[in-house]
A and B are shown apart, each in its own frame.
Chain A
Amino acid sequence: MSTVDRLGARFASDAESDSSRFRVLALAGVTGITATYLAVLFELTSVPSVGGTPELAAVVLGAFAGGYALSRTVGERVAAILTVVLVFAGGLAYLLATPLGVVSLTTRGGQILTDAFALLTGWRVLKLVEPTVWILGFAPAPVFITTYLALRRRYVAAVGVAGLALAVLIMTGDAPVLLGRVPLLFGAVAGIAAVGFGELEKRGGTLKQVDVLVLLFAAMLVISSVPVLPGSPLLLPRAGGEGAATVEGSLTAETGRAPIVGSIRLSPEVRFKVEADQGQYWRVATYDRFTGQTWLRSGESRDYSPSLLDEPPGETTRVSQTFEVLAPAKVMPAANQPVEVRGDVREFTKVTLNGGIQSDVRFREGDRYSVVSAVPTADEETLRATGTEYPSRVENRYTEAQGLSETFTERTERIVSQADAQNPYETAVAIEDWLEGNREYSLDTDRPSGNIAEKFLLEMEQGYCTYYATTMVMMLRSQGIPARFAVGYTPGQQVDDNEWLVRGSDSHAWVEVYFEDVGWVKFDPTPAGPRQEAEVERIEDAREDGDENVDVGDSEQAPLTTTTPSTTPSPNATDVNRSEQTFRNPNLGGTTAAGGGNFTLETGGATTNGSDGGDEGSGGGPIPPETLFVAFVALIGLAAGAHRSGATDRALRTAKIHWHGGRVDPETDVRRAVERLELLLERHYRPRHVDESPPAYIEALTRAGLDDEVTRVGELYEHAVYGNGVNEAEADEVVALVDDTVRAHTPLLRRLR
């Protein structure tokens, strides 16, 4: 074997061990990104009303085993065909499970495409009618093909598939909401790692090239932490992260979804003026699916058509309402149960699967619309007499209550039996009474983690309407009674015989219970007294403060100002800067008497009195850990970049050249001085050859123009290292000589010589 062969073999074995290390890292990367999207799916199945975690685990394991087994036995074309089959099988299973069935394939292909598109534009999986089936149909194909490809070293393709699966879940909005940003980033980083290490494995790279990957990761993390443009899927609101939102904002801002937040405040500004025969709860939306944290409405809304709005099966009375919009809003309140929308507004009206109406457009100030509602008028006796033969459509959709604990159900049963309730109506009344009587009303509530209904029934002592209503719905469902969560506005202030003024503070959440042969009946478990007090207090405070948009017409003598109203129904941290005070401070009502004066003055008072509620939005606090983390990652990235470009080496070298460090013994000092000299000469002449001793190197450089006195350094080095040693004086001489030479070669210091 020749020298070259031997060397070659040695390098090859080095590269081999690196390459197997890279394979492990690449596979870990693929596992990481796969785990990320699987985590989303598992999160979804752990939602109370969805379920199916064991089935999903089985499906995923099966797909993984299949991919593993087939990666050694089956060609890529067969694997691709298998994947396509899996995708179609999953889709078909979903279609079969939905009420529409396979027929829809032929008759409503367009609708299916629209649904698919809707899913990809932020329509959460949870809003599907059969999410479990969808998840079980979705999971196996990507797991299978990713495993297959990764084991066949096709990392790029594997990451591509896994990335696609993750992308779908990001587009539906499930991944960002359920996982948050950091795990998603982890998935992305894992994907890049897989591709990078995979390439290194294939091309036989060495560990030295990993700094490029590090640079890439750091760049990704830093860039992604820069505020994303609005509309990016990563920037979905985090439930509970809004700080002190308004009740209204939290309930009505986002259609199809009602997150439950923590502390909350009331906005006293006017929203609507309603002309109607009687005051009703003006319902904005109802929700059928509860995730434990958030209410969702499953199914897609359809364009308005009178036939879509079913009349309640029981006796009703017609209530005709005309809404005048006083502040821009994208909601369309109407009393339960709207049966007809009048006028041009129909074009912008949508009908939800729950039988509610929505507006496609944002109403502006002065817009008007008319709705006719059929309000169930069943009296108490009729309700008591109803049975439990619910239409299957209602029962399937509104009794979903998986994931509730035994304790929750038992507690509910105890409450119901204590009240001696014999039928659905009595059960509902019992629950309503119990909640009203046993939980304290407070807007200052910390949002708990976990299932909110469970927490409110079993642990919490206080809450506001959302908590009451959510808990009541789930309690009813645990007893098999169809119920849903409704949000909207209470009737508001009656300013005339048939005129109601609705303010932001009137926003509310309540419960609708379905009774056989009657329809949806409103129940309000929130204690009315404390709530109204809070609302009235809020309006009076606002009036005393001279706030704008609190009153309209003759609702108060205060004139309506003409300044541009800055009302937005959505919660906004800048609201704090206006004089809206939060209800966190219980003494607020007392202190306002001292206020008075005008708007500007009171702003100061507001910020001193009750600023705690809205502080989350300001940047005055300590640096958040996320920022520190990003800064840390940025530093690592910079370090990797510097390493790549050699800047660290250069800086280190410069420092070494100029700094001798502490004296040790003559020999070490001479060695160190000569090392410094070498680093310097390397820059100005050439590096020392491997087979050159330092004295020989210096000697050679004197021939190339180096100062002759430096040869003395070489001479003394020789004595120190090869000869019989040097004394301290000689070592000092060497250090001084090297210092001189370094100075002579440093641009600025040279002048000081």
Chain B
Amino acid sequence: MTDANTPDATPQSSRPETAPESLPIEEAAQVSRDVISNVEDVIVGHHDEIEHVVTAMLGRGHVLLEDVPGVGKTMLARALAASIECSFKRVQFTPDLLPSDITGVNVFNQKTREFEFQKGPVFANVVLGDEINRAPPKTQSALLEAMEEQQVTVDGTTRMLPQPFTVIATQNSVEPNRTYELPLAEVDRFMKKLHLGYPDAAEESEVVARAVGHHPIESLTSVTDTETIRRARETVANVTVKEAVREYGTRLAAYTRENAKLGVSPRGTIALMRAAQARAVVRGRGYVTPEDVQTEAPRVLSHRIRLSASGPQDQGEQVVADAIETVPVE
């Protein structure tokens, strides 16, 4: 590292200094619907999951997809990127992957005799981290830091990531002995954890029918752009969350804390409210209702709950279901 690099320490901002003007609710809802239906041209079935991915993106969140290989995780991410007309990068996580393979690295340019920053794959609007649990924790954390901070720091230089920035990470749930399970603190950074699951017979037949010729992803056209998405995000951020709903969310979180070894953190409650805001926009509303919260809660809260310190992870769903059933709506 040299002194010459010091001026670069100021953020290279690709994010506007002032927040973009928010879209009207109806337009934002229309955009999200367009994106969803566009992605559905490629992905058969999974309507709810597509909606969840879109709302996560609008709610400034990231998604963890956990599933067996070959059910369309990557395709979902690609389709989403293609629909928005934005940059898309994919990182295949392997045990020998290094943090710099993700964030990028300073390379000495012989011509200019200067170090140049070679951007890593994380500099994209949609990043697909494939089989994230195959890389060692150090590498994982490089991506997770980027997710949380919306920026990357290499050799003391901090660089802003493009906006919107959405990570869709996949986790392979088979072959558990060859993986590094994500620590809970890092799982907590994903807004949602989704399962795609296998399509049913009719859906699978449809998938096969579409894919045998040219894959539909190749002809997928964008329906919106990053600027619109940024404005839609602003719309989501402005959605009203009244006290009644806020309290409902905190009561749900409190319930999980009382009834599990490890409950939902305040970060989880914030994520829940953001997801509910996005859900309200998708449904064309300027305010959050308890139904929005209920729709988002299972996907947003379950993966943050541990019933025991060492037990299997996927037990949070029942606790969240109990919470929704037990905590009274006002």
Q: Which residues of A contact B (CB under 8 A)?
A: 1-3, 6-7, 690-696, 718-719, 721-724
Q: Does B289 contact A (CB under 8 A)?
A: yes
A721 to B260, CA, bound (A): 31
Residues of B within 8 A of A723 (CB): 240, 242, 285-287
Query: What is the total of A-B residue contacts with beta carbons within 8 Å?
Result: 57
Q: Which residues of B contact A (CB under 8 A)?
A: 240, 242, 244-245, 258-261, 285-291, 294, 307-308, 318-319, 322, 324-330
Chain B's nearest CB lies how many Å from the CB of A702?
Answer: 16
A-B contact pairs, 24 of them (CB 8 A): A1-B308, A3-B259, A3-B260, A3-B307, A3-B318, A6-B258, A690-B325, A690-B327, A690-B329, A691-B294, A693-B289, A693-B291, A693-B329, A696-B290, A696-B291, A696-B329, A718-B287, A719-B287, A722-B245, A722-B287, A723-B285, A724-B240, A724-B286, A724-B287
A692 to B325, CA, bound (A): 9
Chain B's nearest CB lies how many Å from the CB of A690?
Answer: 5
Known: A691-B325, A693-B289, A722-B287. A7 touches B330 (CB 8 A): no
Contact A721 B329 (CB under 8 A): no
Residue ID in chain B nearest A688 by CB atoms: B329
Chain A's nearest CB lies how many Å from the CB of B315?
Answer: 9
Contact A3 B289 (CB under 8 A): no
A694 to B289, CA, bound (A): 11
Contact A722 B288 (CB under 8 A): yes
Chain A's nearest CB lies how many Å from the CB of B125?
Answer: 32
A1 to B318, CA, bound (A): 14
Contact B259 A721 (CB under 8 A): no
Chain A's nearest CB lies how many Å from the CB of B183?
Answer: 23
Known: A3-B259, A7-B259. A691 touches B324 (CB 8 A): yes
Selected from B244, B318, B326, the residue in CB contact (under 8 A) with A690 is B326
Residues of A within 8 A of B325 (CB): 690-691
Interface centre among A2, A691, A718 (most CB of B within 10 A): A691
Q: Given A696-B291, A721-B244, 18 other A-B contacts at CB below 8 A? A: A1-B261, A1-B308, A2-B307, A3-B259, A6-B259, A7-B259, A690-B327, A691-B294, A696-B290, A718-B289, A721-B330, A722-B287, A722-B289, A722-B290, A723-B285, A723-B287, A724-B286, A724-B287
A652 to B294, CA, bound (A): 32
Residues of B within 8 A of A721 (CB): 242, 244, 330
Residues of A within 8 A of B324 (CB): 691
Interface centre among B261, B319, B324, B329 (most CB of A within 10 A): B329
A692 to B260, CA, bound (A): 24
Contact B319 A722 (CB under 8 A): no
Residues of B within 8 A of A695 (CB): 289
A506 to B308, CA, bound (A): 98
Residue ID in chain B nearest A691 by CB atoms: B324
A3 to B317, CA, bound (A): 12
Contact A691 B329 (CB under 8 A): yes
A719 to B245, CA, bound (A): 12
10 smallest CB-CB distances across A and B, nearest first, come from: A723-B287, A693-B290, A693-B329, A3-B259, A722-B289, A690-B328, A721-B244, A691-B324, A722-B287, A722-B242
Residue ID in chain B nearest A690 by CB atoms: B328
A7 to B319, CA, bound (A): 13
Chain A's nearest CB lies how many Å from the CB of B37?
Answer: 26
Residue ID in chain B nearest A699 by CB atoms: B291
A266 to B307, CA, bound (A): 92
Residue ID in chain A nearest B241 by CB atoms: A722
Residues of A within 8 A of B326 (CB): 690-691
Residues of A within 8 A of B328 (CB): 690-691
Chain A's nearest CB lies how many Å from the CB of B273?
Answer: 12
Residues of A within 8 A of B330 (CB): 693, 721
A723 to B330, CA, bound (A): 14
Residue ID in chain B nearest A4 by CB atoms: B259
Residue ID in chain B nearest A719 by CB atoms: B287
A1 to B287, CA, bound (A): 38
A413 to B307, CA, bound (A): 92
Contact B290 A3 (CB under 8 A): no
Known: A2-B307, A3-B322. A692 touches B245 (CB 8 A): no
Residue ID in chain B nearest A694 by CB atoms: B329
Chain B's nearest CB lies how many Å from the CB of A5?
Answer: 10
Residues of A within 8 A of B242 (CB): 721-723
Residue ID in chain A nearest B256 by CB atoms: A3
Selected from B240, B260, B327, the residue in CB contact (under 8 A) with A691 is B327
Contact B329 A692 (CB under 8 A): yes
A563 to B260, CA, bound (A): 95
Residues of A within 8 A of B322 (CB): 3
A431 to B25, CA, bound (A): 112
Chain B's nearest CB lies how many Å from the CB of A550?
Answer: 86
Residue ID in chain A nearest B243 by CB atoms: A721
A696 to B286, CA, bound (A): 18
Interface centre among B240, B259, B307, B327 (most CB of A within 10 A): B259
Residues of B within 8 A of A693 (CB): 289-291, 329-330
Chain B's nearest CB lies how many Å from the CB of A278?
Answer: 98
Residues of A within 8 A of B286 (CB): 723-724
A275 to B207, CA, bound (A): 134
Residues of B within 8 A of A7 (CB): 259
Residue ID in chain A nearest B258 by CB atoms: A6
Residues of B within 8 A of A691 (CB): 294, 324-329
Residues of A within 8 A of B290 (CB): 693, 696, 722
Interface centre among B244, B290, B307 (most CB of A within 10 A): B290
Chain B's nearest CB lies how many Å from the CB of A711?
Answer: 14
A694 to B244, CA, bound (A): 12
Residue ID in chain A nearest B255 by CB atoms: A3
Interface centre among B261, B287, B307, B308 (most CB of A within 10 A): B287
A722 to B258, CA, bound (A): 26
Known: A690-B328, A691-B294. A722 touches B260 (CB 8 A): no
Known: A690-B326, A691-B324. A3 touches B319 (CB 8 A): yes
Residues of A within 8 A of B240 (CB): 722-724
Chain B's nearest CB lies how many Å from the CB of A200?
Answer: 28
Residues of A within 8 A of B287 (CB): 718-719, 722-724
